[in-house]
Amino acid sequence: MNSIKNGAKINEVSLLRLYLLRALYLLVVVGLGIVQWPVVIEQIIHQEKSWELMDGVVACMLTSFSILSILGLRYPLQMLPLLLWELGWKSIWLIVVALPLWTAGQMDESTWETASACLLVVIFPFIIPWRYVFANYVKKRGERWR
């Protein structure tokens, strides 16, 4: 369904799709709230042992992702780039890292755990409103450079 607003055509997104997006953001918020936030809060409060470099990077990125996903509950379309980033990095990791290890029969427990967590991304393409993404991120004129 198309409508005209301020002289520009915009692709409308159905209310159902908006609720599905909100449900996806909520899944991220609750999931990371249960898994990640206790770890981060414990580290902030006690600071007994510092994290290894990549453990700290991952914890901070996931915590930031969960905070931004809270905004997605209110602004599901404006926060779409967050979901696109998540879809992108998880898809790349699954194809470039996990798939070769799996086909070679070399997946260890840690890699299986990460792959399992990343596989949630398979639902993203069914929820993301691709016509809206195409209209607003591909076809739409970009911001001026000067």
In a domain, 7, yes or no: no
Average pLDDT on 100-125 reads 94
pTM confidence score: 0.82
Identify the domain containing residue 19 by its residue range: 12-139
In the predicted structure, residue 103 carries a pLDDT above the cut 90: yes
Which amino acid does the sequence have at 47?
A: Q
In the predicted structure, residue 2 carries a pLDDT above the cut 70: no
Average pLDDT on 21-46 reads 90
Domains identified in the chain, total number:
1
In a domain, 1, yes or no: no
Q: How confident is the model at residue 24 (pLDDT cuts 50, 70, 90)?
A: very high
Which sign does the torsion angle of CA 15, 21, 25, 30 carry?
A: positive
Q: What is the DSSP string of 10-28?
A: EE---HHHHHHHHHHHHHH
Task: Give the residue with greater pLDDT, 45 vs 115.
Answer: 115
